[in-house]
Amino acid sequence: MKTAFSIFLLSVLLSSCGQDSVPTATNTTAQESRVALTETERLNLWFDERNEEFLMKSPMNLTFLGRKEKYDEIDDASEAAMDEELRFWGQTVEDLRANFDYEALTNSAKISYDIWVYQYENDLAMAPFRRHAYIFDQMNGEHSFLPDFLMSIHSVANETEMRAYITRIGGISRRLDQLLVRAQLGAEQGVRPPQFSYEIVLQESANIISGAPFEQDSETDSPLWADAKGKIEALLEADEIGEDKASELLSEVEAALLETLEPSYQSLISWMQDDFKNADQQPRGVVALNNGAEYYKAALANMTTTSLSAEEIYTLGLNEVARIKQEMEALKEKIGFQGSLPEFFNYVNTDKDFLYANDDEGRQGYLDDSAAFISTMRSKLPDYFGMLPKAELVVKRVEAFREQDGAAQHYREGTADGSRPGVYYAHLSDMNAMPKYAMETVAYHEGIPGHHLQKSIQKELEGVPEFRKISGFTSYTEGWALYAERLAKEMGGFEDPYKDFGRLNDEMFRAVRLVVDTGIHAKGWTEQQAFDYFTENSSRSEGSIRSEIQRYIVTPGQATSYKIGMLKILELREKAKNGLGEKFDIRAFHDTVLGGGALPLAILERVVDNWIAETKG
């Protein structure tokens, strides 16, 4: 499951550059005039300088990375900024090709070179479909992300940082206004998410401006008001400010919320309410859009980093569903259940033994048990990995204003310096959609040895250009996390056969995704067709299945990346075992896969091939 941070970090990195021209490689620093550098050293220096330029044009990315420069600014989300970014990125690639000798580079430097070019060419391929993407939906809409950014990412340790927080409230309002313009431009071309997505966005947006100070008589604080009060109170307790200054800051927060934030959310809500009637009540895939087939082809290439067609992915999904179903049947028989597989699905979804209480005690039990699974798996890491993460991981419930019944859990990475831990977030508003048999799998996927392990190691890498520590490719990151579920079984997890069924069930729904995503967006499936196919092949609850399908509808292609990436990693592991025989070392293989950061799958294969050749001697 792809985390909000990973998606946002890459998109901002590629869409927030300003007006500066690109320095050529021949005059990057004075250091080169004093020291004779190898071609690789010269290239790495160039990469770090260009990466720093990108970051300095993205104040939000700087904050994600734990840096405090431009701490009072919010990134530009206009189409003009996206156009300028593409021009800037293109100039860097021209400079790269004109000023560096590819053949003189080390293998690692060639990988960096190719990743840099790949990112630009991928962005260029997606540019014609900019207005095909939904701006406000229940998965990636910044109406909920932006307040969460202030609350969860913008830390406050002194008065200056609190004032930056207040200024950023205005920046959020401006960005929201810019995004609304883009949503309106898309709507003019017939691009709208379905009505169910409008309903969710409207409710989440209303939640942001509900409570004090927006509703004067409310006994409940709005999310941002409660957060700001908490941050100011902490400064007061730490003697960073006095009572008078605290009152002054609170007044400024209140003014910013009422004078800038509320009008922007009201504009969004008003437009979406008026436009609701124009959205599809019965959702359709992007194949229904003008040039939708080409858009979906580009989306699949973007998400999978392959050239696989929709038909090839659909067929692969059918084959994987059949294979996993056989494993489910075998495990059902091992457990001793006498009924059919659909009857077994119904049993594990309805028997109260598989559910936590739908109250706060049950929710805390889910969080505690998830943390325990992760802790046990962390202790086993040295037997399977040479590279180990330093960053801490915490398990949290999703904030109430953006929580959705049955929605997918997700991970948000921390900072390289450890000042902010990684977070595994769970939607716990409806515990009936969170069965016990499924939770162990999710803990490993989102935590260890999944997203937290991979992303923390990437941030902590040494000896690679800085941009490789933050770049992301969905098929790699989600493919690794799905591979990690299977690896966790090898590492001693899933001792309970019902939880092992949960592992198979989660792998099944990633295989189902290949069929359903392509079915919706390439074959014109209805939401009900997708639901029926999903229900036939998975024990997930009805609410969870509907939430999943609605997710696929608004994020075309994304759901296919998990299985495509996992299968490639398994293929490379088998290739390495066959090529190295007794020299194969699982720890070295994992360090090879993780040791270069996130990669397009074809480049990952080159990295593994290089390792095999070097290991052979």
Tens-digit pLDDT profile for residues 497-548: 999 999 999 999 899 999 999 999 999 999 999 999 999 998 888 888 998 9
Do 464 and 476 belong together in one domain? yes
* Shared-domain flag, residues 232 and 154: yes
pLDDT surpasses 50 at 584: yes
**Do residue 336 and residue 242 come from a single domain?**
no
pLDDT over 60 (residue 298): yes
Element housing 147 (H / E): helix 142-148
Distance of CA 402 to the CA centre of its chain: 16
Q: Residue 128 is encoded by which pair of tokens?
A: 């014609």
Question: Using 50, 70 and 90 to split pLDDT, how confident is the model at 418?
Answer: confident
Length of the chain, in residues? 617
**Exposure string (b/e) for 361-388, b if CB count within 10 Å is 16 or more?**
eebeebbebbbebbebbbebbeebbebe
Contacts of 462 (CB under 8 A, 6+ apart): none
CA distance linking residue 385 with residue 126, whole number of Å: 36
Of 77, 106, 132, which residue sits at a domain end?
Answer: 132
Closest CA to 233 of 216, 255, 217, 249: 249
Amino acid identity of residue 27, one-letter, is N
Q: Which residue has the higher pLDDT, 16 or 395?
A: 395
Does residue 355 carry a pLDDT above 50?
yes
Are both 168 and 218 inside the same structural domain?
Answer: yes
Average pLDDT over residues 263-292: 97
More confident site: 420 or 469: 469
Tell me, yes or no, whether 612 lies in a domain: no
| Maximum C-alpha span of the chain | 78
* Residue 28 domain-assigned (yes or no): yes
| Structure confidence by residue, pLDDT tens digits, 219-262 | 999 999 999 999 999 999 999 999 999 999 999 999 999 999 99
Model confidence at 98, in pLDDT bands (50, 70, 90)? very high
pLDDT of residue 10: 37
Q: How confident is the model at residue 35 (pLDDT cuts 50, 70, 90)?
A: low
Q: What is the pTM of this model?
A: 0.89
Residue 590 domain flag: no
Task: Confirm whether 484 is domain-assigned.
Answer: yes
Q: Which of 281, 315, 341 is the last residue of a domain?
A: 281
Does residue 409 share a domain with residue 305? yes
Q: What is the domain count for the chain? A: 3
pLDDT band at 3 (very low <50, low <70, confident <90, very high): very low
Q: What is the pLDDT of residue 118?
A: 98
- Residue recorded with tokens 């080159």: 606
Q: Answer yes or no: do 169 and 30 share one domain.
A: no
Average pLDDT, the chain: 92
Q: How far apart are CA 99 and CA 539, in angstroms?
A: 56
Residue 14's pLDDT is what? 34
**pLDDT band, very low/low/confident/very high, at 4 (cuts 50, 70, 90):** very low
Short-list 574, 565, 577, CA closest to 603: 565
* 8 Å CB contact between 393 and 421: yes
> Is 436 contained in some domain?
yes
| Percent of the chain whose pLDDT exceeds 70 | 94
Question: Residue 33: pLDDT above 60?
Answer: no
The pLDDT of residue 1 is 37
Provide the b/e sequence for 528-543 (b: ≥16 CB within 10 Å). Answer: eebbebbbebbbbbee
Q: Which residue type, as a one-letter code, is found at position 151?
A: M
At 410 the three-state DSSP class reads: strand
pLDDT at 557 over 60: yes
CB 304 within 8 A of CB 601: yes
Instruction: Strands of 415-495 (E only): list them.
Output: 422-426
Q: Are residues 375 and 459 in the same domain?
A: yes
Question: What pLDDT does 406 receive?
Answer: 74
Q: Reply yes or no on whether the pLDDT at 274 is more than 60.
A: yes
Rounded CA-CA distance 79/36 in Å is 42
Nearest 5°: phi and psi at 526? -85, 165
Give Cβ neighbours of residue 354 (< 8 Å, ≥ 6 apart): 348, 435, 436, 437, 498
Least confident piece of the model among 253-262, 404-413, 438-447, 520-529: 404-413
For residues 188 and 276, state if they share a domain.
yes
pLDDT in tens, 535-552: 999 888 888 899 899 999
Q: Are both 138 and 119 inside the same structural domain?
A: no
Instruction: Give yes or no: residues 363 and 437 share one domain.
Output: yes
31-45, 47-61, 75-89, 158-172: segment of lowest average pLDDT: 31-45
Q: Which of 26-35, 300-309, 336-345, 502-511 has the lowest mean pLDDT?
A: 26-35
As a three-state string, the secondary structure of 481-544 is HHHHHHHHHHCCCCCCHHHHHHHHHHHHHHHHHHHHHHHHHHCCCCHHHHHHHHHHHCCCCHHH
Whether 343 and 427 map to the same domain: the answer is: yes
pLDDT for residue 511:
97
Q: Which residue has the tokens 């359709």?
A: 284
Neighbour-count burial of 284, counting CB atoms closer than 10 A to its CB (0-12 exposed, 13-18 middle, 19+ buried): middle
The verdict on residue 418 lying in a domain is yes
> Residue 169 domain-assigned?
yes
CB 450 within 8 A of CB 378: no
Q: Are residues 456 and 420 in the same domain?
A: yes
What local confidence, expressed as pLDDT, does residue 493 receive?
A: 96
Domain of 205? 133-281
Among 222, 253, 281, which residue terminates a domain? 281
Residue 573 pLDDT > 60, yes or no? Answer: yes
Segment 10-32, tens digit of pLDDT:
333 333 333 333 334 444 554 55
pLDDT at 19: 33
Domain presence at residue 586: no
* pLDDT average, residue stretch 53-62: 95
Q: Name the residue type at position 106.
A: T
Q: What is the mean pLDDT of residues 204-222?
A: 95
pLDDT above 50 for 139: yes
Could you check whether the bond before residue 449 is cis, i.e. omega within 30 degrees of 0?
yes
| Range with the poorest average pLDDT among 29-43, 236-250, 316-330 | 29-43
Rounded to the nearest 5 degrees, what angle is found at the Cα of 65, between the Cα atoms of 63 and 69? 45
